[in-house]
Amino acid sequence: MSAAAPASTRSPDREREVQAECVRTLYKQIPNSLAAALGVTVYLTITLWRHAPHRLIGYFLAIQAVSQVHRLWVMFSYRRATLSVHNAELWARRYAHYMLGAGLVWGIAAVLFLHAQDPLSLVFTLCGLYGITGGAVSGNAYHPPAYSAFVIPIFGAAFVRLAAHGTVEHIALGVASLFYAGILLLFCRVQARSIRQSIQIRFENADLVQRLQEANLAKSRFLAAASHDLRQPLHALSLFSASLRELKLDEQQKRVVDQIYRNIDSLESLFDELLDISKLDAGYFQPRLADFRVQQLLDSLERHYAPLAEEKALRLRIKPCSAALRSDPALLERVLGNLVANAIRYTNEGGVLVACRRRQDQLELVVWDTGIGIPEDQHERIFEEFFQLGNPERDRRKGLGLGLPIARRIARLLGSELNLVSRLGRGSRFWLRVPLGDAAAVSSRRPEPERAGDALSGRCVVVVEDEQTIRDGMHELLSSWGCTPVEAASAAAAIALLQERALEPQLVLADYRLTDGAVGSDAVDQLRARFGRELPALLITGDTAPERLREAKQSGLHILHKPVRPAQLRALCNYLLTRTP
């Protein structure tokens, strides 16, 4: 429906909504019209005091007082009521009746003061009437019948009073006043049409925004459901492929398995990007500020991304820095890692530089590349989700177009702003500024003692998972690590199996979403109630919906997201086992 469509093409419901909004605005104008009426009344009283009988002025002030009391009564009656599309017509009529009363009062003023004996009295009165009626156009254009009820008595009385004098000049002045009234009514109708169209557009825009929000929620629900369903088999595939790598294979078989593993790793990276967006939407990331050496972060970047640069024959230069920072090291590394990965992805020759520069009490972290560059008109678009330059074929090796949006959102979460300077064909420079930390506090901190190697061997690990393929995959993987796995679809079934086999669980791996509405945190509570509160446990989930992520985090358990990288799972299991006395 066009915003400027005539009323005949609009739905009756929308017409009633527009009318209700107009009536609502009318009554909001009453305090303003009260002030205007009082102002004009004071003006007439002062200017006519020496030109009109005080008795007439007294009559005028008396009826004005009654009129203003009635105005206040109308206003407070409206405020006590509840306006709706069903009673808007009633309140519009009441407003028109109130304006008719006000018009009659000003019409009486015309009869009282438009006399020929004193030209100044006539001039002052007409100025007051022209002013009060002209100023009322904008406030009453929301309901033209009310304005007509106000103007017609005033100028009708003025014309009769002027014509009664019988002179050509007075009659001409009366006709001119009627003509002025006609122009005001015309202006009111034109303005009313514009107002109603603007309200119509506002309602239509609100409808569009609501539909967009609903579509966005539907899309999010679909993506969350699709993501969960896709993550499940990929998670199982990852577990089986990890078990496959533990077998003794010949060279050709190893090459095939490595190709499978490489493609699974690529898919896991794509899913991780989608998961990061869901985590940000859910408010999952909460910065944990600490003082740390920036060199630790730079060393980690070099370990992770130097091999990627070497694959493309690029040089990754990371300048050493001795400064300490005050930030969340994990989230800050995520930001810089996304920038470095993006720089390597879009650089074909030359290299990538990571450097630090002091800026008063902050440190500026810079990622500079010699890549393809970004057109100036695309500098903001590259921070939009799923937008990619130079990838019309959607090559999955170039990601999903989420790296930079994620980097900017995390940077803002850390209280920093991600900045960009780029020239097409000349490369790009991204930077953000981070507060400096306490170097002395970092230097005095003792390093944590190293943990023992592999604590999983010989341990009884309970897997609570409702999908059979994933239970089978976990069984193969945990068995290859020397564990004694016990898999079940529920906590009750797991407890029964443990009792049957006379086993004491030492670690629990529970899927978050189980059958019949059960959740993994409840399964962990049941197992802990039976085998001891100190039983270490972690949740594994394929849910990416923001509300599910928040619920899982509130459990207080460590969480891994499907598809789980086996090395990550093994490291966290070792950590939980060695941490537990």
Q: β-pairing, 537-541 with 484-488?
A: unpaired
- Per-residue pLDDT tens for 476-516? 888 888 889 999 999 999 999 999 888 899 999 998 888 87
Read off the DSSP letter of residue 517.
Answer: G
Sequence-ordered list of residues with C-beta below 8 angstroms from that of 424, at least 6 positions apart, any chain? 372, 373, 374, 375, 376
**Position with higher pLDDT, 382 vs 576:** 576
Cis ω for the linkage preceding 563 (within 30 of 0): yes
| pLDDT the model gives residue 389 | 62
Question: What digits encode the pLDDT tens for the residues 17-63?
Answer: 888 889 898 888 888 888 988 999 999 899 888 888 888 899 989 99
In this predicted structure, which of 191-195, 472-476, 554-558 has the lowest mean pLDDT?
554-558
Chain-centroid distance, C-alpha 154: 52
Q: Which of 121-135, 253-267, 297-311 is predicted with the least confidence, judged by mean pLDDT?
A: 253-267
What is the Cα–Cα distance from 470 to 490, expressed in whole angstroms? Answer: 14
Taking all residues of the chain, what is their mean pLDDT, rounded to a whole number? 81
Percentage of the residues of the chain whose pLDDT score is greater than 90: 16
Residues 381, 345: contact at Cβ < 8 Å? Answer: no
What pairing do the DSSP bridges indicate for beta strands 460-464 and 484-488?
parallel
Q: Which residue has the tokens 């990601």?
A: 399
* 384-399 pLDDT tens trace: 666 566 554 445 455 5
Can you point out the beta strands (E) in 384-536? Answer: 419-423, 427-435, 460-464, 484-488, 507-511
Q: At what angle do helices 144-163 and 168-245 cross, to 10 degrees?
A: 170
* Per-residue pLDDT, 573: 87
Tokens of 79: 């405020």
Q: What is the pLDDT of residue 106?
A: 92
User: Which residues are 364's β-sheet partners?
Assistant: 357, 433
User: Is the dihedral angle over the CA atoms 166, 167, 173, 175 positive or is it negative?
Assistant: positive
Same fold for the pair 290-440 and 460-579:
no
Place of tokens 């797991």: 494
**Would you state the pLDDT for residue 226?**
61
Least confident segment among 76-90, 400-414, 426-440: 400-414
The β-bridge partners of 203 are none
Give residue 563's identity as a one-letter amino acid code.
P
Separation of alpha carbons 473 and 476, rounded Å: 5
Beta-carbon contacts of residue 210 (< 8 Å; ≥ 6 apart) = none
pLDDT of residue 431: 86
Pick the range with the lowest mean pLDDT from 112-126, 144-158, 180-194: 112-126
* Topology at the third CATH level for domain 460-579: Rossmann fold (3.40.50)
The count of C-alpha atoms lying within 13 angstroms of the C-alpha of 210, restricted to the half-sphere facing its C-beta, is 6
- 149-177 residues labelled b (16+ CB within 10 A) or e (exposed): bbbbbbbbbbbebbeebeeeebeebbeeb
For 87-101, b/e burial (b = at least 16 CB within 10 A) is: ebeebbebbbebbbb
Sequence-separated (6 or more) residues with CB below 8 Å from residue 198:
none
pLDDT bucket at 451, cuts 50 / 70 / 90: very low
> For 287-324, how does the pLDDT look when each residue is reduced to its tens digit (9 = 90+)?
788 888 888 888 888 888 888 888 888 888 989 988 88
Q: Give 522-547 pLDDT, tens digit per residue.
A: 999 999 999 887 899 988 887 766 66
Instruction: Give yes or no for residue 282 having a pLDDT over 70.
Output: no
Yes or no: say if 367 and 430 are a contact pair by the CB < 8 Å rule.
yes
* Domain boundaries of the chain, sorted by first residue: 7-211, 290-440, 460-579
User: Which pLDDT value is given to residue 486?
Assistant: 92
Closest CA to 483 of 512, 452, 507: 507
Q: Cα(555)–Cα(49) distance, rounded to whole angstroms?
A: 81
pLDDT value at residue 181: 92
Yes or no: say if 411 and 417 are a contact pair by the CB < 8 Å rule.
yes
Provide mean pLDDT across the span 461-472: 88
The CATH code of the domain at 290-440 is 3.30.565.10
Is residue 6 over pLDDT 50? Answer: no
Q: Do 208 and 154 meet the contact criterion of CB atoms below 8 Å apart? A: no
Q: What is the distance between the alpha carbons of residues 259 and 261, in angstroms, rounded to a whole number?
A: 5
Q: What is the 3-state secondary structure (H, E, C) of 243-289?
A: HHHCCCCCHHHHHHHHHHHHHHHHHHHHHHHHHHHHHHHCCCCCCCC
pLDDT, mean of residues 105-112: 91
Within 10 angstroms of residue 284's Cβ, the number of other Cβ atoms is 16
Name the band, by pLDDT with cuts 50, 70 and 90, for residue 155: very high
The rounded percent of the chain whose pLDDT value lies above 70 is 80
Q: pLDDT confidence of 273, banded at 50, 70, 90?
A: low
Name, in order, each residue with C-beta under 8 angstroms of 125's C-beta and a sequence gap of 6 or more.
Answer: 44, 48, 109, 110, 113, 114
Flag whether pLDDT at 153 surpasses 90.
Answer: yes
Q: How far apart are CA 334 and CA 218, in angstroms?
A: 29
pLDDT tops 90 at residue 104 = yes
Strand spans (E) along 465-546:
484-488, 507-511, 537-541
Identify the three-state secondary structure at position 117.
coil
- What pLDDT, on a 0 to 100 scale, did the predictor assign at position 2? 38
Round to whole Å and give the CA distance between 123 and 112: 13
Q: What is the pLDDT of residues 175-186, one digit of tens each?
A: 999 999 999 999
pLDDT value at position 559? 82
